[in-house]
């Protein structure tokens, strides 16, 4: 048997790998993964359509690379995906730097510095096409110092790496206004990085706090869980897969009526709340995949507040069928079986949060204004005939008036504007009949009227206790305190 050495033809392979499907924002995020692995704490992204050669540069203050390390970094397939990696490593296939960069540009330059030692390498697709070989360019000192971004960004650092993209054909070819187009595209990058690296930007325990600037403006973390405002739906869980921990945290976003405009915008508005519900998969606290239930639950309006954070170590990459772009991952059955239990509970909790306006109305204690009855074809909502205010009203009516009132209540129950309410809720409309302060004031006035009407009742104390447990009066601390004083007196 004869063995033939068949190396790939460089121009064809390198042009082909440009079509792996990287977006600009996922390509930039892939470069930042390398910076984090190199222990960087500051990353400076610069872009300009106005230079003689429009560019995007990504500078970090990490460890930098030796001559051998930068050669390996620029080699295609420099590390096997089967190798055991450092627990902080965010890479996998040894392709990210090259495939991510050259998916956006035709000329990639990497300059790295460790003290006084500086090394620079360049892949230029036009040069490779002309020569027909794997022509990696090694820049000399004069060529390095002639690069403006080196002089203004990397030169002053003790150590670090500068990644420079030029010949931005994918972004700028055919553009009528390159400045507007680049600014718009880089704004997408800003939003993407704010979400994907939000735990690094916020500085969670156990990881180095990261600062990312874009053209001098700091990127603020975008927390998809609104931690501090959301409800932790259940206790955090941890289960072991092949000896490695997988940690799960479940969050319930506040009802849309309790979100500020800024919070709604951060969550993506109307589309974002529905589209981004579900699992958020983190690998070493870097967000990989989000806004999916992995076919374990259907996306719907009633579960749109539910978000589940799953932390997995890179040691389990082989189970997740993670792609080169780190933008798709599929959980294995062994993990799915553990997550399925959580899905049912958190989606049910989200339904309750949508069904009731606030947390206080979820309680089954007391007497509600509305009662829900399950029937064969669904559910029926009726006004609660046992409500204390309705009973007091009926005591003042004769039989004919009671009949008229009952007819009116049935008419109201049978003509609820459910379709319009559903449309309004889907469009994030504020479906609140009263502002909170107005509603409380009206509730206080109603309680005062009730107290005046039962002043001579022998069942007065029992009726006051009933009011204290009745919706909506039980929802207001001021009313409960007022009724408690009435009992004491």
Domain-embedded: residue 225: no
Indicate the residue among 309, 327, 355 that finishes a domain. 355
What values do phi and psi take at 137, rounded to 5?
-90, 130
Contact 292, 330 (CB under 8 A): no
Domain-embedded: residue 361: no
Domain-embedded: residue 365: no
Asked if 252 and 332 sit in the same domain, the reply is yes
Indicate the residue among 355, 388, 419 that finishes a domain. 355
Number of structural domains, the chain?
Answer: 3
Asked if 196 and 99 sit in the same domain, the reply is yes
Range of the domain at 93: 10-218
Q: What own/partner pairs with CB < 8 Å and gap ≥ 24 does 432-438 have? A: 432/257, 432/357
CA dihedral 239, 241, 243, 244 (to 10 degrees): -70
Domain-embedded: residue 363: no
What is the rounded distance in angstroms from the CA atom of residue 383 to the CA atom of residue 360? 19
Asked if 18 and 143 sit in the same domain, the reply is yes
> Which pLDDT does position 348 carry in this prediction?
61
> Which pLDDT does position 80 carry in this prediction?
43
Find all residues with CB under 8 Å of 316, minimum gap 6, and list them. 241, 242, 244, 246
What is the rounded distance in angstroms from the CA atom of residue 325 to the CA atom of residue 95? 9
Q: What own/partner pairs with CB < 8 Å and gap ≥ 24 does 432-441 have? A: 432/257, 432/357, 439/472, 440/476, 440/478, 440/479
Asked if 246 and 332 sit in the same domain, the reply is yes
Distances (CA, A) of 86 to 83, 170, 198, 222, 313: 10, 34, 21, 27, 10
Contact 158, 60 (CB under 8 A): no
The distance from CA 444 to its chain's CA centroid, rounded to whole angstroms, is 41
What is the rounded distance in angstroms from the CA atom of residue 96 to the CA atom of residue 421? 48
> Which pLDDT does position 404 carry in this prediction?
85
Asked if 167 and 22 sit in the same domain, the reply is yes
Asked if 194 and 286 sit in the same domain, the reply is no
Asked if 338 and 374 sit in the same domain, the reply is no
> Which pLDDT does position 436 carry in this prediction?
60
Gyration radius of the chain's alpha carbons:
31
pTM for the model stands at 0.71
Kind and range of the H or E run holding 240: strand 231-241
**Mean pLDDT, the chain cut into blocks of 10 residues (489 residues total):** 84 86 92 94 94 91 95 77 47 69 95 96 94 93 94 93 94 80 93 96 90 96 90 80 89 83 80 85 92 84 84 84 68 80 67 47 56 75 80 83 85 80 61 63 82 77 79 78 80
> Which pLDDT does position 381 carry in this prediction?
81
How is the beta sheet containing 286-292 ordered, strand by strand? 231-241, 244-252, 306-312, 278-283, 286-292
Indicate the residue among 355, 384, 416 that finishes a domain. 355
The string of DSSP letters for 268-325 reads: THHHHHHHT-EEEEEETTEEEEEEE-TTSS---GGGTTEEEEEEE-GGGGGGTT--TT
Kind and range of the H or E run holding 213: strand 211-214
What is the rounded distance in angstroms from the CA atom of residue 235 to the CA atom of residue 310? 13
Question: How many Cβ atoms sit within 10 Å of the Cβ of residue 41?
Answer: 15
Asked if 398 and 254 sit in the same domain, the reply is no
Asked if 388 and 418 sit in the same domain, the reply is yes
> Which pLDDT does position 439 carry in this prediction?
76
Domain-embedded: residue 5: no
Contact 362, 352 (CB under 8 A): yes
Find all residues with CB under 8 Å of 438, minimum gap 6, and list them. none
Tell me whether residue 327 is exposed, middle or buried, using C-beta atoms within 10 angstroms of its C-beta: 0 to 12, 13 to 18, 19 or more: middle
Asked if 174 and 281 sit in the same domain, the reply is no
> Which pLDDT does position 327 carry in this prediction?
65
Asked if 380 and 428 sit in the same domain, the reply is yes
Domain-embedded: residue 226: no
Residue 123: CATH number of its domain: 3.30.565.10
Residue 348: CATH number of its domain: 3.30.230
Domain-embedded: residue 292: yes
């Amino acid at each position: 048997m004869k063995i033939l050495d068949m190396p790939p033809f460089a121009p064809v392979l390198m042009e082909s790998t440009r079509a792996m499907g990287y977006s600009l924002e996922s390509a930039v995020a892939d470069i930042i993964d390398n910076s984090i692995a190199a222990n960087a704490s500051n990353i400076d992204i610069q872009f300009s359509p106005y230079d003689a050669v429009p560019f995007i540069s990504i500078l970090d203050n990490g460890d930098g690379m030796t001559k051998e390390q930068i050669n390996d970094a620029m080699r295609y397939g420099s590390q096997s995906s089967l190798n055991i990696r450092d627990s902080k490593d965010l890479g996998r296939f040894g392709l990210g730097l090259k495939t991510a960069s050259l998916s956006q540009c035709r000329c990639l330059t990497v300059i790295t510095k460790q003290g006084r030692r500086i090394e620079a390498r360049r892949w230029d697709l036009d040069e490779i096409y002309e020569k027909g070989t794997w022509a990696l360019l090694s820049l000399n000192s004069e060529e390095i110092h002639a690069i403006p971004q080196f002089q203004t960004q990397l030169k002053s650092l003790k150590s670090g790496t500068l990644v420079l993209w030029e010949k931005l054909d994918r972004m700028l070819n055919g553009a009528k206004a390159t400045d507007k187009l680049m600014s718009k595209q880089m704004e997408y990058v800003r939003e993407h990085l704010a979400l994907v690296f939000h735990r690094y930007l916020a500085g969670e325990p156990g990881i180095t706090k990261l600062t990312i600037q874009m053209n001098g403006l700091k990127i603020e973390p975008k927390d998809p869980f609104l931690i501090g405002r959301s409800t932790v739906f259940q206790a955090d869980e941890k289960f072991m897969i092949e000896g490695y921990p997988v940690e799960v945290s479940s969050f319930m976003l506040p009802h849309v009526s309790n979100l500020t405009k800024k919070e709604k915008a951060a969550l993506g508005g109307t589309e974002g709340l529905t589209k981004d519900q579900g699992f958020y998969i983190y690998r070493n606290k870097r967000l990989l995949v989000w806004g999916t239930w992995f076919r374990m639950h259907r996306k719907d309006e009633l579960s749109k507040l539910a978000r589940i954070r799953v932390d997995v170590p890179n040691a389990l990459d082989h189970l997740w069928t993670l792609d080169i772009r780190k933008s798709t991952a599929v959980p294995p059955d062994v993990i799915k079986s553990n997550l399925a239990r959580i899905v049912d509970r958190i989606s049910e909790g989200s339904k309750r949060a949508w069904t009731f306006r606030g947390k206080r109305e979820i309680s089954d204690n007391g007497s509600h204004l509305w009662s829900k009855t399950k029937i064969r074809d669904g559910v029926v909502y009726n006004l609660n005939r046992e409500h204390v205010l309705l009973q007091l009203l009926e005591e003042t009516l004769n039989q004919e008036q009671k009949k008229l009132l009952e007819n009116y209540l049935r008419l109201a129950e049978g003509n609820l504007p459910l379709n319009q309410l559903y449309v309004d809720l889907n469009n994030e409309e504020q479906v609140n009949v009263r502002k909170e302060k107005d509603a409380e004031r009206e509730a206080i006035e109603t309680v005062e009227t009730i107290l005046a009407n039962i002043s001579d009742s022998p069942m007065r104390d029992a009726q006051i206790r009933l009011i204290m447990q009745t919706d909506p009066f039980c929802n207001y601390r001021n009313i409960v305190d007022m009724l408690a004083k009435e009992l004491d007196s």
